[in-house]
Amino acid sequence: MSVWLKMGYYFLIFLAGLKGISTTYYEAAEIDGANAWQKFRSITIPMLSPVTFFIFVTLTIGIFNMFNEPYILTEGGPVFATYTLSMFIYDYSFKYLRLGPAAVASWVLFLLMGLTTFLQFYISERKVNYDV
């Protein structure tokens, strides 16, 4: 369900990224004798790396914040199989009125998202090409 829900949004972002690649790169590669696979591997993929990185970061944050899909479908699933941290925060703050554990879980979620995003930016420093 999540894949179909978000596919159109990320498709449009990739399409905008593809439209942002200048045709002069492809013309120069064609003059140099590059075939379609070489153009895709050497021009399209590196020029789409900022778009891919943006999508990867937003998807990761979205996974951490996933609440609606598992709650609507299974409410945590059989034996907490689809129970997420966001559902834990919701249950403890609104169902059980235990705000202490919910606040701690919120901070844990915040720190996990922050650490993961920092690691993504740190690792992708050399792999993302911002050359325009």
**Per-residue model confidence (pLDDT) at position 69:** 87
Which CATH number covers residue 35? Answer: 1.10.3720.10
pLDDT digits over 33-65, tens only? Answer: 999 999 999 999 989 988 999 999 999 888 888
Dihedral sign of CA atoms 60, 115, 79, 67 in order:
negative
55 lies in which domain range?
2-123
Three-state DSSP state, 91: helix
Measure the CA–CA gap between 76 and 115, rounded to whole angstroms: 25
pLDDT digits over 89-128, tens only? Answer: 999 999 999 999 999 999 999 999 999 999 988 988 877 7
Residue 107, in any domain of the structure: yes
**Per-residue model confidence (pLDDT) at position 132:** 58
Total structural domains within the chain: 1
Q: Whole-model pTM? A: 0.79
Residue 131, in any domain of the structure: no
**Per-residue model confidence (pLDDT) at position 36:** 93
Instruction: Supply 43's token pair.
Output: 């021009």
